[in-house]
Chain A
Amino acid sequence: MATVISRSKTPLWAWVVITLAAIFFILPMLAMARFAFQRVPVALLGRNTLFDRWTLDGLVDMFRDPDFRPALWLSLRISVLTVALTLLVMLPTALWVNVQAPRLRSMVETATLLPYVVPPIALVVGAGGAFRNLAPWFLRSDYCLVPFYAVLAMPFTFRSLDTGLRSIDLKTLIEASRSLGAPMPTTLLRIVVPNITSALSGTIFLTITVVLGEFTIASLLLKPTLPLYMSYSQGRNPQGALGLAVLLLALTTLLFFAATRLRRRGAERYTIRIGAMP
């Protein structure tokens, strides 16, 4: 009994839309890339100069800047910590909503949307005021950004995890695992997590994206993160700053494609196995 999953053909009009959208997004990036990597006065950046004087000097200058590496390093550390904090808080929350309290889902969903409603400036001024009195050491630390960013990412992270958990028969899987002698932590690690890997990687990517793109809070709290550094160095080294922006874009795009490719390869393995069924 051979079951074949056929991938439906994409119609022509879809390709037209995709192409138009791609042009809309890619053209500005190409323009950015030319500005960043060509030693040609902006006024002369036309069709004739397309292949003239490409160089990485701006970027190299930026990498040599003593402020750059600490900024990058800080943002990476904050990314890792924010991902950790997010998983630590949001995964149990999403699990709790799905297993124990499905009736509270809409309430929790609304709560996770709050970062959309509360402007970052209000968040910082409010939290800043509170912490300055209660725990002044907190705002002095660079890592004080971590909880802010976890909160900012919440609308994305909760939804991603919730969708992943809803796509599996969570309650039965947990109970099956427990009845087979697995305590709750083992059940989470060995049974739940492997079945929501795509939701988890989505959560991680979205969190990193938020951290690498956030400006307002870091600026208000005077933390030298990468986005802040890029913004400030635009005056000193505009080519380098834009070069870095292009590089970051390319990097996240690559990561994104890598993640989808991995996922698709997993799906293909299933398809082949099904096809080989007697």
Chain B
Amino acid sequence: MSQSKDMFFESVTKTFGATVALENFSLTVRSGELLTLLGPSGCGKTTALRIAAGFDRPDAGRILVGAIDITNQPAHRRQMGMVFQSYSLFPHLSVIDNVTFGLRMQRVAPNERRGRGLRMLELVRMDGLTDRLPHQLSGGQQQRVALARALATQPDVLLLDEPLSALDAKVRAEVRSEIRALTTRLGTTTIFVTHDQEEALGISDRICVMNRGIVEQVGSPIEIYDHPKSSFVAGFVGELNRIRLGGVDLVVRPEQVILNNCHTADTGGEIVATSFHGSFMRYQVRLDDGQAVTAIAKHTPGSGMRAGTRVTVKIGDEKNERPD
């Protein structure tokens, strides 16, 4: 395996016409880590990835891999592996030919090429389907082959552009853990782009939350979730209640809201809607003063409450400081 390298975005700015996609964007991706660019659509995360890949040129700033400035290097000279949102396997090539295409470009001898391709396919558990054509594979299989293809050339950095968004929920979870396992095993520096905060929390070593072309916060998933630096981060990562209780403004995660069944109708409110999610239950509560609160409670048999139930509302643990 090639030595994995740090990657740096240095004050990268990119505009498309009047739209600023990235503004003075600086970020260090550490060797071997999986860093997620997370943000709403239009936040610049895909632009950052495309600039890393060499598909777009920045207006200002530099991109470095290790100590080498690759800002002006064309895409095909960069050592980047990329997996795309849409299925991107070459339709006319078999699975093995797709995976070995990059090695072929590097003029690796045919025998060695095939061996390395097969090894990659084993890693993504696709070694039984080497001679299939892409259209004979399911979506999940196609993305696993795409992953193998991107990693076969042992790239400096692996770029993943919402690779799971075309897959259905179950396959998505499967491929997600596969990506994580594989990049950890190979020690590949990875940038993962997504707008799905749950995906980001689940897969990343670190998350870079972006909004309108700037970095809002960089940190581990737990840091981002527990100590959001801005109300944007707090609102975008995980769910958030903004309520005023006892004259104090509070920002509270739904799982910190504790509901108790109560028959004396003094403090609290009423459950207006419920939804069951298997391991947890989600309640929409309207407080007596009209404010809306969302609460999440772990589900145990017999614990569920119905819409219309009167409840008292308490805020659990200490974490109720307001960011900003």
On whether the beta carbons of B75 and A175 are closer than 8 Å, the reply is yes
Q: How far is the CA of A242 from the CA of B317 in the complex (A)?
A: 97
> Are B86's CB and A181's CB within 8 A?
no
Which of these, A169, A187, A195, A273, contacts B88 with CB under 8 Å?
A169
Q: Which residues of chain A from 180 to 228 have a CB within 8 Å of any chain B CB?
A: 180-184, 186-187, 191, 194-195
Nearest opposing residue in chain B for A168, CB measure? B91
A181 touches B90 (CB 8 A): no
CB of B135 within 8 A of CB of A179, answer no
B86 touching A172 by the CB < 8 A rule?
Answer: yes
B92 interfacial by beta-carbon distance below 8 Å: yes
User: Is B133 interfacial (CB 8 A cutoff)?
Assistant: yes
Q: Is A258 an interface residue (CB 8 A)?
A: no
With contacts A172-B84, A180-B101, A195-B92 known, is A277 near B53, CB below 8 A? no
Instruction: Report the separation of the CA atoms of residues A23 and B42 in the bound assembly, to the nearest whole angstrom.
Output: 60
B91–A273 CB distance below 8 A? no
Q: Is there a chain B Cβ closer than 8 Å to A237's Cβ? A: no
Name A172's contact: one of B88, B133, B136 (CB within 8 Å). Answer: B88
Cross-chain contact B135 with A182 (CB below 8 angstroms): no
Considering only CB atoms and an 8 Å cut-off, how many residues of chain B contact the other chain? 32
Interface: B149 (CB within 8 A): yes
Q: Does B105 contact A (CB under 8 A)?
A: yes
What B residues does A177 contact at CB under 8 A? 90, 101
Contacts of B74 in A (CB 8 A): 178, 183
In the assembled complex, the CB of A121 is this many whole angstroms from the nearest CB of chain B, namely 44
Most buried by B among A178, A182, A191: A178
Given A194-B92, A195-B92, A273-B133, A180:B84 Cβ within 8 A: no
Which chain B residue shows the least CB distance to A184?
B76
A274 interface contact, C-beta 8 A: yes
Asked if B117 is at the interface (CB within 8 A of a chain A CB), the reply is no
B120, CB-defined interface residue at 8 Å = no
B105 and A182 form a contact (CB under 8 A): yes
Docked CA distance A180–B84 (Å):
13
A112 to B127, CA, bound (A): 48
| Interface contact B153-A176, CB-CB below 8 Å | no
Tally chain A residues at the interface, Cβ within 8 Å: 23
Q: Nearest chain A CB to B269's CB is how many angstroms away?
A: 50
Task: Compute how far the CA of A175 lies from the CA of B90 in the bound complex, rounded to whole angstroms.
Answer: 11
For B73-84 the 0/1 string (1 means CB < 8 A from A) is: 011111011101
Given A169-B86, A173-B88, A173-B90, residue A179 in contact with residue B101 (CB < 8 A) = no
Q: Which residues of B contact A168 (CB under 8 A)?
A: 91
Give min CB distance, B120 to chain A, whole Å: 13
Q: How far is the CA of A179 from the CA of B136 in the complex (A)?
A: 24
Let me know if A181 and B82 touch, CB within 8 A.
no
0/1 interface trace, chain A 256-278, chain B, CB 8 Å (1 if under):
00000000000000100110010
Which residues in window 56-109 of A have CB below 8 A to B?
A: none
Residue pair A179, B92 in contact (C-beta under 8 Å) = no
The answer to whether B76 touches A176 (Cβ under 8 A) is no
Pick the most buried of A176, A177, A187, A270: most chain B CB atoms within 10 A of its CB. Answer: A176
A175 touches B92 (CB 8 A): no
Residues from 118 to 177 in A contacting B, C-beta threshold 8 Å: 168-169, 172-173, 175-177
Given contacts A177-B90, A180-B153, contact A186 B105 (CB under 8 A): yes
Within the complex, what minimum Cβ distance (angstroms) separates B164 from chain A?
16
- A191 vs B89: C-alpha distance in the bound complex, in angstroms? 10
Q: In the bound complex, what is the Cα–Cα distance between A172 and B46 (angstroms)?
A: 14
- Indicate if the CB atoms of A183 and B82 lie closer than 8 Å: no
Out of B89, B92, B136, B153, which one reaches A181, CB within 8 Å?
A: B153
Provide the bound-state CA to CA distance between A195 and B132, in Å: 17
Chain A residues with Cβ below 8 Å from B78 are 179
The answer on a CB contact under 8 Å between B90 and A179 is: no
With contact pairs A194-B92, A270-B135 given, residues A182 and B53 touching in the complex (Cβ less than 8 Å):
no
* Minimum CB–CB distance for B156 against chain A, Å: 12
Provide the residues of chain B in CB contact with A270, threshold 8 Å: 133, 135
List A residues 20-63 near B (Cβ within 8 Å).
Answer: none
**Is the Cβ of B149 less than 8 Å from the Cβ of A180?**
yes
20 contacts between A and B (CB under 8 A): A169-B86, A172-B84, A172-B88, A175-B53, A175-B75, A175-B82, A176-B88, A176-B146, A178-B75, A179-B78, A179-B159, A180-B102, A181-B77, A181-B102, A181-B105, A181-B153, A182-B105, A184-B76, A187-B76, A191-B90
4 closest pairs, A vs B, by CB? A180-B102, A181-B105, A179-B82, A178-B75
